[in-house]
């Protein structure tokens, strides 16, 4: 459960209120409706990540493929989502950090703030529905590296007690 929570905090859309647009009658949201991005964009990005990650999980027998689509197909994001523990370049991106005397909630707030910053890069404030596809592969690599690093950090912190 904690792994899911930590990983989900790295998804930029999960840390940005602009992912939850107001309905036509909702006047409680802090931004005008034009400043939010569509729910379909959130799903599209997660689908791109899923298409890059699921085949690896199937090939490594982490789970059994449900459909033919779960098998390896070349996508441009595969190199951005895969990390090898024998590759020095990949290992250099995995940087666990000490949580120190802070509690896990403070650590998670930092993760969510960083995730919100990435969301602002992906979905510019002036045109959030025109997402930044040019920087998306590099941001994907950064997101996945941070998720791995922070999962390691959390488990070291928990096991250290």
For the chain, give the DSSP string: -HHHHHHHHTSGGGG-GGGSPPPTT---SSS-GGGS--HHHHHHHHHHHHHHHHHHHHHTTSS--SSGGGS----TTHHHH---TT-HHHHHH------TTS-HHHHHHHHHHHHHHHHHHHS-SS-TTS--TTTHHHHHHHHHHHHHHHHHHHHHHHHH-
Q: What's the pLDDT at 102?
A: 81
Q: What's the pLDDT at 146?
A: 97
pLDDT in tens, 78-100: 899 999 989 999 999 999 988 88
User: What residues have CB less than 8 Å from 147, skipping those under 6 apart?
Assistant: 6, 7, 10
CB 49 within 8 A of CB 140: yes
Mean per-residue pLDDT of the chain: 88
pTM over 0.75: yes
pLDDT in tens, 15-66: 999 988 888 888 888 888 888 888 889 999 999 998 888 877 777 778 776 7
Q: Longest C-alpha distance within the chain, in Å? A: 54
List the chain domain ranges.
2-13+35-160
């Amino acid at each position: 459960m904690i792994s899911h929570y930590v990983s989900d905090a790295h998804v930029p859309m999960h840390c940005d209120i602009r992912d939850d647009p107001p309905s036509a009658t909702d006047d409680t949201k802090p931004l005008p409706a034009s400043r939010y991005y569509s729910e379909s964009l959130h799903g599209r990005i997660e689908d791109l990540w899923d298409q890059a990650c699921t085949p690896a999980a199937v090939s490594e027998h982490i789970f059994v493929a449900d459909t033919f689509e779960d098998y390896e197909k070349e996508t441009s994001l595969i190199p951005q989502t895969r990390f090898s523990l024998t590759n020095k370049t990949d290992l250099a991106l995995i940087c666990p950090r000490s949580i120190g005397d802070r509690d896990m909630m403070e650590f998670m707030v930092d993760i969510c703030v960083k995730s919100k910053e990435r969301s602002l890069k992906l979905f510019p404030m002036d045109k959030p529905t025109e997402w930044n596809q040019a920087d998306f592969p590099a941001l994907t690599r950064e997101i996945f590296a941070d998720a791995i690093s922070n999962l390691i950090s959390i488990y070291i912190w928990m096991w250290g007690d």
